[in-house]
């Protein structure tokens, strides 16, 4: 565990603090206020929740002091904005006032008049009081600072919200905002009388309950929600999302065939269509099932989404309505792929089979042709041939098989296989991608691959080590290295991360508007992380 200080515009690391100093994760951080942020307070999650103060004014950070904080969980820590060297921490059934003097921390406990005080989670300051609240109760509490002759409750607002109060924010004009975790309301309070001003707003249900509040530029308020959204607005006007994302494991990603858009869906039962240029959500829809895979029809007017239950559904992108649903077995749908001409759909299942459908009426009608059986493990990847007649597939036991789509029969002729040209290259195990596997690699080390759609000279892979690698295509020579003429995509995550990048897709950005027969160019590569809820976009430079 360690602390990183970031430059907020370019997102570069300025300083790394505390490597080897923290026993467990760091749970609370706060910059000092009066000296312009030259000090940093941190609390870790060790058994006695050690609180430490760091001098970060020089090129190399220096630990000023540390001491044991509490055996109870600590949920908040803040430097006082006007009292020098005063720190307040709070958590389960306690609030502590710390004074930093002569390189040492001394503590004075806050006193509550009631027993079994619920956990306190935030500590903003109003005048000479610290204001705190609880995610368990409906109460906002004001406590006088010890330096001003007290450490007791001076004010209490009962029933401030329906359910717990998750966040408080003191505005520059002295007003106080509170955010409810159950009622999704943001309420404005007078900082002197602790009475409501009459201004309040309710966050739409689709964005989730309020989790944190912060003042932005001017009168704007930033709201973080429990559904991975950041909203911007005021209590007088509505709040609009500036960041949205999934709230559970994210498994499905597919770029639109003609637009600057891509689709994601996952185990939070939500489907998002994104604009890849503005990095914003075009629309979202709840489908009431955990989604595992998706793909667009070549016309770009609809998408197929595979679920964990063996069901797959067809969603119209214009009306956002489900056109039809089908079920193939009772196990998870691992991958879905339309043929290049849009007349066939291949559905790869965890039951080791590939189901082939004939597609008609512009993608609204699906008739099963049959199923391809022969794999001895679950299907992982599917690619169609350029002529829409053949399929290559991978399985969980690292098998590569070839199929004739119209008959669902296995293709075993080496000569016929050798002559096939593939429309996509998502199968990580194929003759054209032998060189992506490093020496000694395990079969699970590479999770996804994707070839560029325009010039078809680049392929990208995503691995178990959090890296995206870019190669020339085909990459058929064993132990191939990345060519020097190609810029390797930056890592989507730190090499310390154990998360895996599960899906890749080249986004089509520049359309060749003068000829409908030309293929769009590939300029961006998108990847997603299995246990994360955001997408990563990396610029791909052709040389």
Instruction: Map out the domains of the chain with their CATH numbers.
Output: 3-243 (2.130.10.10)
193 pLDDT higher than 80: no
Reading phi first (left if > 0) and then psi (alpha if -120 to 50, else beta), residue 459 is in beta
> pLDDT-derived band of residue 513, with 50, 70 and 90 as boundaries?
very low
pTM across the whole model: 0.76
Element (H, E) at 268: none
Mean pLDDT to the nearest integer, 497-526: 40
For the chain, percent of residues with pLDDT exceeding 90 = 40
- The per-residue pLDDT for 148 is 54
Strands 129-133 and 140-144: antiparallel
Lowest pLDDT segment from 72-76, 117-121, 231-235, 519-523: 519-523
Lowest pLDDT segment from 34-48, 260-274, 520-534: 520-534
- The per-residue pLDDT for 302 is 96
Mean pLDDT to the nearest integer, 408-426: 92
Mean pLDDT to the nearest integer, 349-365: 95
Three-state SS sequence of 99-166: EEECCEEEEEECECCCCCCCCCCECCEECCEEEEECCCCCCEEEEECHHHCCCEEEEEECCCCCCCEE
**Judging by beta carbons within 10 Å of its beta carbon (0-12, 13-18, 19+), is residue 390 exposed, middle or buried?**
buried
> pLDDT-derived band of residue 223, with 50, 70 and 90 as boundaries?
very high
> pLDDT-derived band of residue 138, with 50, 70 and 90 as boundaries?
low
Lowest pLDDT segment from 132-136, 366-370, 377-381: 132-136
- The per-residue pLDDT for 497 is 28
Please report where in the chains the tokens 């595979």 appear, as a residue.
306
> pLDDT-derived band of residue 524, with 50, 70 and 90 as boundaries?
low
216 pLDDT higher than 60: yes
The tokens for 415 are 């000569």
> pLDDT-derived band of residue 527, with 50, 70 and 90 as boundaries?
low
Question: pLDDT, tens digit, for every residue of 261-303?
Answer: 999 999 999 999 999 888 889 999 999 999 999 999 999 999 9
> pLDDT-derived band of residue 9, with 50, 70 and 90 as boundaries?
confident
CA distance 508 to 210: 36
Mean pLDDT to the nearest integer, 338-354: 97
More confidently predicted of 21 and 391? 391
CA distance 123 to 168: 8
Question: pLDDT, tens digit, for every residue of 150-183?
Answer: 566 656 666 777 777 778 888 888 888 888 777 8
Q: Which of 79, 66, 91 is nearest to 36 (CA)?
A: 79
507 pLDDT higher than 50: no
Q: Angle CA(218)–CA(222)–CA(223) in degrees, nearest 5?
A: 155
Reading phi first (left if > 0) and then psi (alpha if -120 to 50, else beta), residue 278 is in alpha
Please report where in the chains the tokens 């899906």 appear, as a residue.
503
> pLDDT-derived band of residue 531, with 50, 70 and 90 as boundaries?
very low
More confidently predicted of 152 and 305? 305
457 pLDDT higher than 90: no
The tokens for 146 are 């010890």
CA distance 95 to 121: 10
543 pLDDT higher than 50: no
Q: Measuring CA to CA, how many Å separate 113 from each of 93, 117, 143, 156, 298?
A: 12, 9, 11, 11, 67
Question: pLDDT, tens digit, for every residue of 391-401?
Answer: 999 999 999 99
Mean pLDDT to the nearest integer, 324-335: 96
Element (H, E) at 477: none
428 pLDDT higher than 60: yes
Mean pLDDT to the nearest integer, 332-341: 97
Q: Which of 435, 441, 482, 487 is nearest to 464 (CA)?
A: 441
Report yes or no: 253 and 535 within 8 Å, Cβ to Cβ.
yes
Average pLDDT over the chain reads: 81
């Amino acid at each position: 565990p360690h602390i990183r200080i970031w430059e907020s515009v370019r997102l570069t690391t300025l300083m790394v603090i505390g490597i080897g100093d923290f026993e467990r994760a760091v749970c609370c951080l706060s910059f000092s206020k009066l000296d312009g942020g030259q000090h940093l307070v941190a609390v870790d999650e060790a058994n006695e929740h050690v609180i430490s103060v760091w001098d970060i004014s020089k090129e190399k950070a220096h630990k000023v002091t540390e001491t044991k904080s509490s055996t109870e969980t600590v949920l908040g820590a803040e430097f006082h904005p006007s009292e020098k060297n005063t720190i307040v921490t709070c958590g389960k059934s306690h609030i502590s006032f710390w004074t930093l003097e002569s390189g040492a921390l001394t503590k004075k406990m806050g006193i509550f008049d009631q027993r079994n005080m619920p956990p306190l989670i935030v500590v903003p300051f109003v005048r000479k009081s610290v204001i705190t609240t609880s995610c368990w109760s409906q109460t906002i509490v004001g406590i006088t600072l010890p330096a001003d002759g007290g450490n007791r409750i001076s004010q209490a607002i009962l029933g401030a919200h329906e359910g717990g109060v998750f966040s408080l924010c003191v505005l520059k004009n002295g007003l106080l905002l509170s955010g409810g975790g159950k009622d999704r309301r943001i309420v404005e309070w007078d900082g002197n009388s602790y009475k409501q001003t009459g201004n309040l707003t309710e966050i739409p249900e689709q964005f989730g309950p309020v989790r944190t509040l912060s003042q932005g530029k001017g009168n704007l308020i930033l709201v973080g929600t429990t559904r991975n959204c950041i909203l911007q607005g005021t209590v007088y006007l509505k709040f609009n999302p500036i960041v949205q994302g999934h709230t559970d494991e994210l498994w499905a990603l597919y770029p639109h065939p003609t637009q600057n858009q891509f689709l994601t869906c996952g185990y939070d039962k939500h489907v998002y269509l994104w604009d890849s240029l503005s990095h914003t959500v075009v629309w979202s829809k709840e489908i009431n099932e955990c989604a595992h895979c998706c793909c667009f029809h070549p016309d770009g007017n609809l998408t197929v989404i595979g679920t964990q239950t063996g069901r797959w559904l067809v969603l119209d992108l214009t009306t956002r309505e489900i056109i039809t649903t089908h079920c193939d077995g009772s196990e998870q749908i691992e991958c879905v792929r339309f043929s290049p001409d849009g007349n066939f759909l291949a559905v790869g299942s965890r039951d080791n089979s590939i189901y082939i459908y004939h597609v008609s009426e512009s993608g609204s009608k699906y008739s099963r042709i049959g199923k391809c059986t022969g794999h001895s493990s679950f299907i992982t990847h599917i690619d169609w041939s350029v002529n829409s007649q053949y399929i290559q597939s991978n399985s969980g036991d690292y098998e590569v098989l070839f199929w004739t789509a119209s008959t669902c029969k296995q293709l075993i002729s080496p000569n016929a296989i050798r002559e096939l040209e593939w429309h996509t290259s998502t199968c990580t195990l194929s003759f054209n991608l032998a060189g992506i596997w490093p020496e000694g690699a395990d079969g699970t080390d590479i999770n996804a691959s994707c070839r560029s759609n325009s010039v078809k000279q680049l392929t990208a892979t995503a691995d178990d080590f959090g890296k995206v690698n870019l190669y020339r295509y085909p990459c058929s020579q064993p132990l191939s290295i990345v060519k020097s003429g190609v810029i390797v995509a930056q890592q989507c995550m730190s090499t310390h991360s154990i998360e895996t990048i599960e899906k890749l897709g080249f986004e089509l950005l520049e359309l060749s508007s003068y000829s409908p027969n030309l293929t769009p160019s590939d300029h961006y590569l998108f990847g997603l992380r299995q246990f994360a809820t955001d997408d990563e976009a990396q610029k791909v430079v052709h040389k």
